[in-house]
Amino acid sequence: MYTQGLDQKGQTSKPAAVEESAEQLAAFQARIDAEEKIEAKDWMPEAYRRTLVRQISQHAHSEIIGMQPEGNWLTRAPSLKRKAILLAKVQDEAGHGLYLYSAAETLGVSRDQMVADLLAGKAKYSSIFNYPTLTWADIGAIGWLVDGAAIMNQIPLCRCSYGPYARAMVRICKEESFHQRQGFEIMLELTRGSDEQKAMAQDALTRWWWPSLMMFGPSDKDSKHSAQSMAWKIKRFSNDELRQKFVDVTVPQAEFLGLKVPDDDLELDEASGHYRYGDIDWQEFYDVLAGNGPCNRQRMAKRQGAHDDGAWVREAAQAYAAKQAAKAA
């Protein structure tokens, strides 16, 4: 569903364990510049590998945690059709998590390790999922805005220099565009409905707009890893470029729905064709990132609880497999 600016402030690369010669680095960069895909067994700089592990695993964790806010409305979906569509969407997210963990595993890190890092709070997931889904309209807003923002981020990732990630993203993007449409359709139905439903839709846009803009990550001037990721063609557009693209596409959609974007400074700049938007409250972004969003604790507690509840099941599966292996021997 989502990637957020993964290049957060204050993260520094550790020195590579092995010596990387200038020739190796130059040859690697030449392959990147020639738009060749880097594959799992190819030589790559340690920092490239580490950047990808961080980005892909964060993306995978986001898919898994992202199931929670939407799952929150599955039992209450207002029709069987909506229930089935939402269920299929949430299931897709589990599937995306699975391919992304597999893509990250090609870089030499196990899924167990990645999950352990998530549970230990060492790995991040997209902050957007630390906001609550309070009404059914939030399910529409997530599909429309959050998946819409995710698509902006993810389409360029289909051309990412790392082959396994790029291929996983091709598949994921196809499903995401369906998710985005179902979200917009929920909003459309609500805005054509009763006054109460319209108010529900407006409230959802009001609450999800700014967090959606924050999904693109810090402003370019504060984004430390961007330049290197761009040079490696892991990233193709800057955070601010993608954010602008999202605003330009989404504002007319809000107008079509008859909803007001909660930004008094929003205006179309006729000369450039771009919408100018107001200042993002970056303090809120960093607060949520630091663990102080409305649902950070709840999301992690649920994942930790599920993991802990599975302990006896994992032990049983291992014990059974060992018994079977002993019988076969």
The residue ranges that bind another protein (CB under 8 A) are 64, 67-68, 71, 74-84, 87-88, 90-91, 94-95, 97-98, 101, 111, 136, 186, 189-190, 193-194, 196-197, 302, 305-307, 309-320, 323
Please say which residue, 47 or 74, places its beta carbon nearer to another protein. Answer: 74
Q: Which is nearer to another protein, 135 or 238 (CB)?
A: 135
Residue 143 C-beta: closest distance to another protein, Å = 14
Instruction: Count CB neighbours of 64 within 10 A.
Output: 23
Query: Minimum Å distance from CB 100 to another protein?
Result: 10
How far apart are alpha carbons 215 and 150 in whole angstroms? 8
Q: Which is nearer to another protein, 68 or 126 (CB)?
A: 68
Nearest distance, CB of residue 14 and another protein, angstroms: 29
| Least gap, CB of 88 to another protein (angstroms) | 6
CB of 310 to another protein, least distance (A): 2
CA distance 143 to 321: 41
Q: Which of 226, 223, 231, 220 is nearest to 45 (CA)?
A: 231
Q: To the nearest whole angstrom, how small is the minimum distance from the Cβ of residue 302 to another protein?
A: 7
Contact 259, 205 (CB under 8 A): yes
Using the minimum distance from each CB to another protein, give the nearer residue, 79 or 283.
79
41-50 CB contacts, 8 Å cutoff, 24+ apart:
45/16, 45/20, 46/16, 46/17, 46/18, 46/20, 47/13, 47/16, 47/228, 48/232, 48/234, 49/107, 49/108, 50/13, 50/14
CA distance 321 to 307: 20
d(CA 201, CA 208) in angstroms, rounded, equals 11
Residue nearer to another protein on the CB measure, 16 or 317: 317
Nearer to another protein, 136 or 277 (CB): 136
